[in-house]
Amino acid sequence: MHANPRRVLQAYVSRQYSGNLPNLFEPGHGPLFAPYIIENSRFPEDWFARTTTCGQQCERCDYCTAVLAQVLTPAG
């Protein structure tokens, strides 16, 4: 069971979460990118739609690299 199910449910119900995205995953995933966090609120609004319909031609595109630079922020 997740250590903070209320946080996960609140993010799901409100369809938004401001904080470290891995904190919503199964226990133990929050510190994966330490000393950085993946700031969920910094993802572009069309990120999911764009990355699920792009054809995964990653070697020809730098979109995900640019988004990672946007969402990966120093912790604290």
Distance CA 63, CA 74 (A): 21
Domains contained in the chain, number:
1
What pLDDT does residue 33 have? 87
Q: Which amino acid is at 65?
A: T
What mean pLDDT do residues 50-76 have? 93
For the question of whether the overall pTM of this predicted structure is more than 0.85, the answer is no
User: What was the pLDDT predicted at 62?
Assistant: 94
Is residue 67 predicted with pLDDT exceeding 90? yes
Average pLDDT over residues 53-65: 93
pLDDT tens digit sequence for 3-55:
888 988 998 899 888 888 888 887 777 788 899 999 989 999 999 999 999 99
Q: Which domain holds residue 56?
A: 5-74
> In sequence order, what are the beta bridge partners of 20?
39
